[in-house]
Structures are given as structure tokens and as C-alpha cells.
Homo-oligomer: A and B are copies of this chain.
């Protein structure tokens, strides 16, 4: 295994009394696309600022390419940041903006212009060289900010909610482009967002943060399919959550008592302990008894057509406070008011230590 490009070791940070990061450690591999995902206030921006050198952590160290960069100034780090508000210099042309970093390195005008054009071409804005930032649309500005950061060839590119200001359609489009550009240049990207769909669309490595801690990290498929915590199960996509207690454990299988009845799970859990079971909407089955684990009966309260699928909300007949969220194929014929059996495959049940 190669040495990590970025190694964050036991970093903590406080603003005054407020502990914003609590003993965070993280390794970033070269060429990877890392997403920091978490709700507002969870410390994502702070962590990114520590990487960029805008904030010096209260405790812990940051190594980049094996060197201790904890207190190195932003200008002297192999990182560059794309700011959420882009921070394009409004008095300079697009070309001037993109060339700014090179100018600071003393690169001569002609080379600078050439490289800036190249970088602009990379983001599909070759023709914008002479425009002023205010003449561009939001998505175009975003790309100029990207070009400006990429042109100085950083080892790590930091992006703080780079798509937050864009509307949904543009955001989707820019996601595809970001991913493509990252593949083309091979730079490690670290990208902050609180949009879990964005995370899944982009990440090689997904880091879920909550309240200053890393709750879970790994490839997005793993984080989605086997979330480590209850937080991560509900933040990274929806889940139906069954709170229960372990009634019996036998062989590597436990029986958990839940409001929807006893459920078998494939883990050896300590008898009597409280657990939460999470089931993804696409794994819930309504009607028939197709699943290996029965979850009782439920009354359908809402069916929303979502194009390629139907999102169904149903309330458990056994416990009206329990709501099932299921995704059914577009062709499904359920109607609000139907009462149906709910089930799923035992293998699909995620056990969360509560």
C-alpha cells in the first residue's frame, strides 16, 4: 500500500468553548475523490479549512505527502481551494483569474495565458478567456473557479460545497463534469457537501461526519449498504428503522423483538441488548410473502409516482408509530388505503448498534 497523500492525525478543533472537531483522523489516497458528507454544523468546513491551511487545529497534525503541514501557510501547501461563493476576482477577466496563481509564481505572461487557456479548455470554457466573471452564469463561474484552482496543479483540490449555489439541474450536470475532470487530471479531490445524492454520484471514498466526528467512512456502496451507525443509515439515503431488543441468540443468528413482530437477523447479538434494524426502501416488499422476514401488516398511506419507481409510505397495523418507506417498481398497483403484508429478505436487514 502506498503512503497516503494526506494524513490527518487525531485533529481536534475548538472555536472558543465550542468543540467543533473531536479527534478526527483520516487518510486520503492519491487520485481519489473523497466526499465529506454531513449535516450543517458537523464540522466539514472546519476540517477543510484545516486542510487548506486557513485554520490551525487546536490539537493534532496534518501531513501532506508525508510532510507535517499543520502550521504551513495556505500559499505554501500543495492544496488549492474552490470556495462555495467561487471568490472569483470581479475586477479581473476570466483569464486573469485563472492565471492569478501562476502570476504569483512568477510565470511570464505568455506561458500564463497559454496555461490558463488550457485549463479553461479543460472545463469547457475556452471561449470565456476575456470575459468578466459577472458575464458568466453560475455554472460557468463554478468552472472558472475550478480552472483557477487546477491550473497551479495542486496535489489536493479542496471544494467546499462547490455546487451549493446552483439549481438542481445545473448541479446534476456539474456533478458529471466534476467527476470527469477529476478523472482526467488525476488530482485528489476533497469535496464537502450535505447532499447525499451528490456524495453517491461523485465519491470514491465517502466520509460521513456528524457533530465533529467521523461516523462512517468507506466506498459509498459500502456506506449505503452497510452503514456503521444509525445516523449514517438515515443520512445516507432513507431507511425504515425498527427499534428492538434481542430475545434470543443461537448459532450466528439472533431473534429481535420489534413492534412489527420478531425478526431473525444474521448476527450473534448479546441477548437483551437494544438494537436498531434498518431496511432500505428498495428492499421492503409489500403484498405477497416474498421476503424471508415478515414484518407484519401495514396500511398504505401515500403512493407517490417518481417516474422510474413509486415511493410508498405505509403505517404498521401493529404499531401506528412505525412507518415503512418502500420503493416499488413503477408498474406496481398499490393504492393508498390498501392493507398489505410487509416483508424483506433477512440478508438485507442492517443491524445498527444503537
Write the residues of chain A forming the contact surface with B, with a CB cutoff of 8 angstroms.
Answer: 39-40, 164, 167-169, 176, 179-180, 194-197, 200-201, 220-221, 224-225, 236-237, 280-282, 302, 304-309, 311, 313, 327, 330
**Using Cβ atoms and an 8 Å threshold, which residues of chain B touch A224?**
305, 307
Q: Across the two chains, which residue of chain B brings its CB closest to A282?
A: B308
Q: Given the known inter-chain contacts A169-B194, A330-B282, please indicate yes or no for A220 contacting B305, CB distance below 8 A.
A: yes
- Asked whether, in the complex, the Cβ of A201 is within 8 Å of the Cβ of B304, the reply is yes
18 A-B contacts (beta carbon < 8 Å): A40-B167, A168-B194, A168-B195, A168-B197, A169-B196, A176-B313, A180-B302, A197-B307, A201-B306, A220-B305, A224-B305, A224-B307, A237-B307, A237-B308, A281-B308, A282-B308, A282-B309, A308-B327
Instruction: Give Cα A41–Cα B304 distance, bound, in whole angstroms.
Output: 28
Instruction: Give Cα A40–Cα B137 distance, bound, in whole angstroms.
Output: 12
Residue from A168, A220, A313 with most neighbouring chain B CB atoms (10 Å): A168
**Using Cβ atoms and an 8 Å threshold, which residues of chain B touch A180?**
302
A232 to chain B, nearest CB (A): 12
Q: Given the known inter-chain contacts A167-B40, A169-B39, please indicate yes or no for A306 contacting B176, CB distance below 8 A.
A: no
A205 to chain B, nearest CB (A): 13
- Asked whether, in the complex, the Cβ of B176 is within 8 Å of the Cβ of A195, the reply is no
